Amino acid sequence: MTVTISRVGKVFASRQGEPLIVLDDLSLTIEKSELVCILGPSGCGKTTLLRMIAGLDHTTSGVIDVDGVAVTGPDPRIAMIFQEYSLYPWRTVRANVEFGLQMRGIPPEERREIVDRNIRLVGLEDFAMSYPYELSGGMRQRVAVARALATDPAVLLMDEPFGALDAQTRNRMQKELLRIWEKTKKTIIFITHSVDEAVFLADRIVVLSPRPGRVDVIYDVNILRPRDRTSVEFAKLRRDVLELIDRLEERQ
């Protein structure tokens, strides 16, 4: 499904009276099955944008729609994966993956098959009856991914999902994500602080300008997958994007 963000603005009322303009007149279209990474200096409103797409926050102005239908609140077509602490610690892996289906009122017999399939998809068959505290950070995020995929959303929003992981786990999770994405062909909007991660994952990289956030530059990443981090073209794009972000940070 296509996600269309048209002229979206977000203003927070601040305590000091001066309203805080976080996003201003931001427009962006994300195509079906596309993997878009959103980058930007801290405080540019990346997370706010994602939360508005998820229906957790309202836009102050402008419209976000998915296939022509406006998003007005949490939407079954959209799932979101948070950075951490989103699993329910009193539920087993299975029960966590089952959560969305349960909330949507899917009957238990039907749930079982869907849950099994998604646990297998993220490779956690052996941990189905474990509790989140028994898992490593990377495994926990796999559970979060499986839980999101179980409800079969068209759009997957990911807010720095690998931000709390160590470098090695992070790289492995990126490869995992690409594998799952190629298999499921979901539209993915992925927020990250890491330029390297964005260049590795994205079809397109959207760089937001500092507050008030708008689209500054969009890079088309035409590097063939699997991408080689040591290749010249990878290094060049990474350097270009890094330089841009440095410049944006200075402007702030």
Partner 1 sequence: MRWYLKLLPILFILLIWQIASVLINNAFILPQPLSVAAVLSNPTADILGSGSIFDNAILSIWRVILGFGLAVLCAVPFGIIIGRYRLIEELVNPVIQLFRPIPPLAWVPLALAWFKIGLASIVFIIFIGSFFPVLINTIDGVRRVNRTWIETAAIYGAKGWKLLAYVILPASAPIIWTGLRVGFGVAWMCVVAAEMLPGTTSGIGYLIMYSYNWGQVQVIVAGMIVIGVIGIGVDVVFRAVEKRKFQWQEMNR
Give residues in contact with partner 1 (CB under 8 A).
54-56, 74, 76, 78-80, 82, 84-86, 88-90, 99-100, 102-104, 131-134, 151
- Nearest distance from residue 152's CB to partner 1, in Å? 12
For residue 76, count CB atoms less than 10 angstroms from its CB and return exposed for 0-12, middle for 13-18, buried for 19 or more: exposed
- Looking at the Cβ atoms of 80 and 202, the one nearer to partner 1 is 80
Q: What are the C-alpha distances in Å from 243 to residues 61, 206, 210, 247?
A: 31, 14, 14, 6
Residue owning tokens 């990346």:
46
- Looking at the Cβ atoms of 119 and 144, the one nearer to partner 1 is 144
- Nearest distance from residue 109's CB to partner 1, in Å? 19
> What CA–CA distance (Å, rounded) separates 248 from 251?
5
- Looking at the Cβ atoms of 67 and 134, the one nearer to partner 1 is 134
- Looking at the Cβ atoms of 99 and 181, the one nearer to partner 1 is 99
Residue owning tokens 């898992």:
135
- Nearest distance from residue 144's CB to partner 1, in Å? 8
Inter-residue contact 79 to 151 (CB < 8 Å):
yes
Which residues touch 91 (CB under 8 Å, ≥6 apart)? 99, 131, 132
Residue owning tokens 């990126």:
174
> What CA–CA distance (Å, rounded) separates 124 from 94?
10
- Nearest distance from residue 82's CB to partner 1, in Å? 5
- Nearest distance from residue 186's CB to partner 1, in Å? 15
Provide the β-strand partners of residue 9: 61
Count of other CB atoms within 10 angstroms of residue 21 = 16
Residue owning tokens 């839980």:
147
- Nearest distance from residue 57's CB to partner 1, in Å? 10
**Residue 114 structure tokens:** 């869907």
